[in-house]
Structure 1
Amino acid sequence: MPFFIGFRLNGDYPCGKLSVRQISVNIVILGPGAIGTLWATKLSTSGHNVAVWSTSIDHHMSLQLDELPPIQFDNRDIVSIKQADLLLVTVKAWQVKSALEPLKAHIAPETIITLMHNGMGTADWVYDTFPGNPLLLATTTHGAYKPTKHQVMHTGLGLTQIGGVNRSGKQCHFLQPVLQHALPEVTWCDNIEHALWSKLAVNCAINPLTAIFQVKNGELASEQYKNQLTNVIEEVFQVMNACSIPIEKSMLESTVHQVIRATAENFSSMKQDIYYQRKSEIDFITGYLLKQAKIHNIQVPENQALYTQIHHIEQSWKSQ
């Protein structure tokens, strides 16, 4: 039985009254990629019962954070899914539906489902498919990459923001100290959509350009990308404004350029996806922006061009 069920009264989650040290949460990480493995190892070393669910058919998975001793996790264990208090979904946005659908019959209605991936647009399907579950969205700026299948390198400290989507999800603020204790900093957002849009804006600016030109993030500070960046940010600002996301354009520009400087030596996830000929998250980053622009009848030619270029690159692999 999920840990939190015993503490639920009339649909409420009063677990925030407990101290972090009193809570040992049953957690399943769905998709132990770089970010998923980072959270799996951090949550495990913080004393929680953590299992993973990956595409590997092995019943156990050994995962290593940096040069620390590897940790053994149960993998693809149905009992862990059924008993999960928290299902942290860290697959790529385009994998969310195919990853969750086979598990639908095994996920308890009290299990908290938290989506943590680049881009937007997956929450509606999850909300409709799991109407009784608390649903949270999360975004993180932690840097991580996997030099091998079973090791993750934590390359940069960041901020994780979480917030509820539905009524029961909005009651899950007690998760903030649980996650904060494992991997700070973590903040609870009453309006998580604003945080997600800010992250989307950064991703729209950085990811497609670094992927198309196969450059590190810091290269975007050079003069040759100035006009494209300016146009992308202007278009994103117009769409955010139409979607009632309050932000000053100067603040949006400052945020994008700050991230470019702070992650100058990093490769964006989309740059890596294109390099390794893997399907990117373009449909849930720039693609989501294009859908919102269409709804509000806003022209976004720069973003449309970048979206088309990424799709052309992906299509070209099929003819090789």
Structure 2
Amino acid sequence: MSKYLIVGAGALGCLYAAELARAQQQVYLLVRDTQANIQTRELAYTRIDGTQESIQVQALDTPAWRQQAPTWAATFCGIILATKAQDALASVQALAPQLPPQVPVLLLQNGMGSQQAVAQYLGGQHLVLAASVTEGAYLKAPFSPVHAGRGVLRLGAFDPEQTKAQDAAQAWVRTWPTAHLKCIYAQDIHPWLWQKLAINAVINPLTLIYNCPNGELMQHLPQVRLLVEELQTLLQSLAIQLPCTDLQTCVQEVIQATAGNISSMLQDQRAGRPTELAYISAYVLACAKQVGLTLPAHVRLYQQAQACLAIKD
């Protein structure tokens, strides 16, 4: 039995907590509650086949982590950071004083920018891994995850040149205990992170401004194609080769495969939560500026998304 700490009780955090616990792993879920002691928490888990199951995990908050960490932090086989991108750095800063450098930290954040901030903060002594996650999940209520679609947890060292982190990534995949959530090693995770970013940079803000599920974006294909063309120009300027050979086809396939889904950005906006727009659209535009590109379609989309968020606020 291995021990995992999962930081963040959102959809992905609860999904991984439930499946790891089902695989007889010892799971600790770091939550925002104010209890100072470790308590048993039940997850009302809906599996991908629709069956429901009550899963028990151990829940704790940051004060409890700080109290317990000196004696057992080094016994964890891995820490999964499943927070929103905007919360990633602060969450790591709260853990860092008691974070053993030999325990790998796996980052699941959408977009890009938060991974760089975490890696820079932790420095080269820690084993920082990053992942591109395509599992479909949502919460129908707090601590009630629904596994809505099969995908892949593809992970690798955030710094591909860090040998110890690469070894840790391969070990993570070798010892991954649940076949229900597929886990794959990537020698260079950055093309996969960029591919997910490119897809999200089209789907997330478009669903936000049109207030629609992903599938309805097929009614806006000219705009989708223009956004993808600009991304292809940016990727070429940055000398980034994506794993997929045709980004236009890839984006449309994701739209169709997730037709009934509500994007995470639209879910956040509807719930009155901060979105990850700064780590998706704004990050794309910042990279474009660095290489002298303007990406007018993405600029307009970003401005429209900001306006939608301002209206909601």
Above 0.5 in TM-score? yes
Within 2, Cα distance between the matches of 1:266 and 1:247?
Answer: 24
Q: Report the residue type matching 2:173 in the other structure.
A: Q
SS at match of 2:139: strand
Partner of 2:166: 170
Partner of 1:140: 133
Shift of 1:71: 1.2
Q: Report the residue type matching 2:53 in the other structure.
A: L
Within 2, Cα distance between the matches of 1:54 and 1:47?
Answer: 21
Within 1, Cα distance between the matches of 2:227 and 2:105?
Answer: 32
2:128 touches 2:165 (CA, 8 Å); kept in 1?
A: yes
2:141 is equivalent to residue 155 of structure 1:
no
Structure 2 stretches lacking a partner, 5+ long: 47-51
Partner of 2:181: 184
CA separation of 1:250 and 1:134: change in aligned 2, threshold 3 A? closer
Within 2, Cα distance between the matches of 1:206 and 1:74?
Answer: 34
2:202 is equivalent to residue 210 of structure 1:
no
CA separation of 1:141 and 1:251: change in aligned 2, threshold 3 A? same
Partner of 2:190: 193
Structure 2 counterpart of 1:256, from 223, 233, 251: 251
Post-superposition CA distance 1:228-278 (Å, at most 9, x none): 111110111111112221249961011101001100011100111112221
Seq. identity, %: 26
2:9 touches 2:143 (CA, 8 Å); kept in 1?
A: no
CA separation of 1:213 and 1:180: change in aligned 2, threshold 3 A? farther
Q: Report the residue type matching 2:8 in the other structure.
A: G
Partner of 1:294: 289
Shift of 1:156: 0.8
Partner of 1:25: 2
Within 1, Cα distance between the matches of 2:234 and 2:195?
Answer: 12
Q: Report the residue type matching 1:56 in the other structure.
A: D
Within 1, Cα distance between the matches of 2:215 and 2:243?
Answer: 24
Shift of 1:182: 4.7
SS at match of 2:54: coil
Post-superposition CA distance 1:284-306 (Å, at most 9, x none): 11111111101111121111111
Within 2, Cα distance between the matches of 1:69 and 1:249?
Answer: 38
1:137 touches 1:165 (CA, 8 Å); kept in 2?
A: yes
2:21 touches 2:55 (CA, 8 Å); kept in 1?
A: no
Structure 1 stretches lacking a partner, 5+ long: 1-23
CA separation of 1:285 and 1:180: change in aligned 2, threshold 3 A? farther
CA separation of 1:302 and 1:170: change in aligned 2, threshold 3 A? same
2:274 is equivalent to residue 274 of structure 1:
no
| Structure 1 stretch displaced more, 123-132 or 28-37 | 123-132
Q: Tell me the TM-score normalised to structure 2 length.
A: 0.88
Partner of 1:93: 85
Within 2, Cα distance between the matches of 1:248 and 1:90?
Answer: 24
Shift of 1:145: 0.8
| Structure 1 stretch displaced more, 151-160 or 65-74 | 65-74
Q: What RMSD over aligned residues (CA atoms) do the two structures have, in Å?
A: 1.8
1:241 touches 1:247 (CA, 8 Å); kept in 2?
A: no
Partner of 1:305: 300
Shift of 1:72: 3.2
2:44 is equivalent to residue 64 of structure 1:
yes
Within 1, Cα distance between the matches of 2:12 and 2:176?
Answer: 14
1:277 touches 1:314 (CA, 8 Å); kept in 2?
A: no
Within 1, Cα distance between the matches of 2:230 and 2:216?
Answer: 21
Partner of 2:49: none
